[in-house]
Structure 1
Amino acid sequence: MTKLLFIQASPRGEQSKSIQVAQTYLDALKATNPALEVDVLALWETALPAFDGDKAAAKVNVMLGQEHSAVQKTAWDQVVEIASRFIAADRYLFAVPMWNSAIPYRLKHYIDIIHQPGLLWGLNPETGYFGLLQNKHATLVLTSGAYADSRPSPAFGIDYQSTYLRAWLNQAGVIAIDEVRFQPTLLTPDPTGALEQAKRAAMDLGQAHGRV
Structure 2
Amino acid sequence: MKLLHISASPRGAASESLAIASTLTSAFLEAPGRSGADRSGADREVEHWDLWDGTLPEFGPVAAAAKMAIFGGVPLTPEQTAVWQGVRSAYERFVAADAYLFSVPMWNAGVPYILKQFIDVVSQPGMVFDFDPEIGYTGLVEGRKAAVVYTSAVYGEDRGLAYGADFQTAPFADWLRWAGVKEVAEVRFRPNLVTRHADAGREAAHARAARIGAEFF
- Where in structure 1 do 4 or more consecutive aligned residues deviate above 4 Å? none
In the alignment, structure 1 residue 116 sits paired with structure 2 residue 115: no
Q: Any stretches of 5+ residues in structure 1 without a counterpart?
A: none
1:188 offset after TM fit, Å?
A: 5.7
For residues 172 and 188 of structure 1, the distance between their equivalents in structure 2, rounded to whole angstroms, comes to 38
Partner of 1:164: 171
TM-score by length of 2: 0.91
Percent of residue pairs bearing the same amino acid type: 40
Q: In structure 2, give the amino acid aligned to 1:169.
A: L
2:108 to 59, 80, 100: 100
- Given that 1:25 and 1:206 are in contact with CA atoms closer than 8 Å, whether structure 2 keeps it comes out as yes
Partner of 1:67: 75
1:137 offset after TM fit, Å?
A: 0.8
Task: Please give the secondary structure, in 1, of the residue aligned with 2:52.
Answer: helix
Distance 1:191 1:173, change over 3 A: same
Q: Any stretches of 5+ residues in structure 2 without a counterpart?
A: 34-40
- Given that 1:188 and 1:194 are in contact with CA atoms closer than 8 Å, whether structure 2 keeps it comes out as no
1:178 to 169, 178, 185: 185
1:154 offset after TM fit, Å?
A: 2.2
Task: Please give the secondary structure, in 1, of the residue aligned with 2:216.
Answer: helix
- Given that 2:146 and 2:183 are in contact with CA atoms closer than 8 Å, whether structure 1 keeps it comes out as yes
TM-score by length of 1: 0.93
For residues 192 and 180 of structure 2, the distance between their equivalents in structure 1, rounded to whole angstroms, comes to 31
Partner of 1:12: 11
1:187 offset after TM fit, Å?
A: 4.1
Q: How does 1:18-37 map to 2 (within 5 A)?
A: 18-32=17-31, 33=33, 34=41, 35-37=43-45
Question: 1 or 2, which has the higher helix percentage?
Answer: 1
1:206 offset after TM fit, Å?
A: 1.6
2:150 to 142, 151, 156: 142
For residues 192 and 27 of structure 2, the distance between their equivalents in structure 1, rounded to whole angstroms, comes to 23
Count of residue pairs brought into register by the alignment = 208
1:44 to 52, 72, 76: 52
Distance 1:47 1:186, change over 3 A: same
